Amino acid sequence: MQKFTKLTAIAAPLPIQNVDTDMIIPKQFLKTIKRTGLGEGLFYEMRYDVKGKRIDDFVLHQEPYTKAQILVSGDNFGCGSSREHAPWALLDFGIRSVIATSFADIFYNNCFKNGILPVKLPQAAVDELMEAAKEKAEITVDLEQQQVRAKNKSYKFDVDSFRKNCLINGLDDIGLTLEFQGKIDQFEQKNSAVTPWLFKKKSA
């Protein structure tokens, strides 16, 4: 998993409340278990009309937001069904952090497991950052300092210390398991001596 320490980038303003996971990545894009290519389906029904024609005035089709790495949005972001494809689609597009007043729990957890930092801030702070994003100002999200900075102002945010450590060190669930590789090897060596039949390889 890609590490996250500090990011300074263009932020796309999406002033919509209750952005659900079907809006983030519609159901027709859930046929794959690959994490790549899903960026094309991100906010598909907001980016394209029913005939597949591009909606040019959607924020992610406008410069410089086509290369946005931060998203500033409304309350209850990521609600709806618990599809892990939602953070996959954001990440594949290039979004590394989402700023909002609140997030749906499952989406919030999935973000940390996929290298995305979801930042919860009070409404007043989100409103100011939304304006900064509309003005195309760069925003800095600093996980180490737990601060968001824009236009000479800073906003402190809280984050669980375990999740913070995982993002800073790029540790997903597999990475966390591999941190105990030595103990796993010791366990297998010990048990292979006690119960060798459990470790016997099957012949082809």
* 24-79: pLDDT as tens digits: 999 999 988 888 899 999 999 999 998 999 999 999 999 999 999 999 999 999 99
pLDDT of residue 174: 65
Give the confidence band of 180 by pLDDT, cuts at 50, 70, 90: low
C-beta of residue 36 within 8 angstroms of C-beta of residue 92: yes
Can you give the CATH number for the domain in which 42 is found?
Answer: 3.20.19.10
Mean pLDDT across the chain: 92
The answer to whether the Cα torsion of 156, 91, 69, 72 is positive or negative is negative
Token look-up 């952090």 returns 97
Q: Is residue 203 part of a domain?
A: no
pLDDT of residue 187: 77
Q: Is the pLDDT of residue 14 over 70?
A: yes
Q: Is residue 14 part of a domain?
A: yes
The Cα angle at residue 51 between residues 69 and 98, in degrees rounded to 5: 15
Domain count of the fold of the chain:
1
Q: Is residue 202 part of a domain?
A: no
In this predicted model, what pLDDT tens digit does every residue of 96-120 receive, in sequence order? 999 999 999 999 999 999 999 999 9
Q: Is residue 112 part of a domain?
A: yes
Give the three-class secondary structure for 51. coil
Residue 142 CA to residue 20 CA, distance in Å, equals 26
User: 73 in the Ramachandran plot: left (φ > 0), alpha (ψ -120 to 50) or beta?
Assistant: beta
Q: Is residue 73 part of a domain?
A: yes
Q: Is the pLDDT of residue 181 over 80?
A: no
Q: Is residue 81 part of a domain?
A: yes
pLDDT of residue 153: 97
pLDDT of residue 20: 97
Neighbours of 113 (CB within 10 A): 17
User: 126 in the Ramachandran plot: left (φ > 0), alpha (ψ -120 to 50) or beta?
Assistant: alpha
Residue 85: which domain range? 6-171
Q: Work out the average pLDDT over 12-22.
A: 97
pLDDT of residue 192: 77
Q: Work out the average pLDDT over 160-188.
A: 79
Q: Is residue 96 part of a domain?
A: yes
Q: Is residue 204 part of a domain?
A: no
